[in-house]
Amino acid sequence: MNLDIVRERFVTYLHKKVSVHVYGMRNKSEEFIGVVSGVYPYVFTVRVNGRERSFNYSDVVIGDIVVNLA
């Protein structure tokens, strides 16, 4: 998967509910459900409980973040 394919996928996810699983360091992970609120050239934003969080497309490509429609 390359960055262009991931960006195109997130354009279709805009304003839709998604499940986000973030794999952190030392076997820590975080999972939440939010709405994709913005799609930009290098990052996308997800609104969770009234607050926006931003993520890089490259993290999705390498598998540090997994995003699926909820």
For residue range 16-40, what is the model confidence (pLDDT) as tens digits? 999 999 998 888 999 999 999 999 9
Question: What per-residue confidence (pLDDT) applies to 61?
Answer: 94
Please report where in the chains the tokens 């607050």 appear, as a residue.
Answer: 51
Question: Which of 6, 35, 4, 40 has its CA nearest to residue 19?
Answer: 35
Amino acid at 64: D
Q: How confident is the model at residue 5 (pLDDT cuts 50, 70, 90)?
A: very high
Residue-range domain boundaries for the chain: 3-69
| CATH code given to domain 3-69 | 2.30.30.100
The model carries a pTM of: 0.88
Q: What CA dihedral angle connects 36, 41, 43 and 45, to 10 degrees? A: -20
Question: What per-residue confidence (pLDDT) applies to 70?
Answer: 87
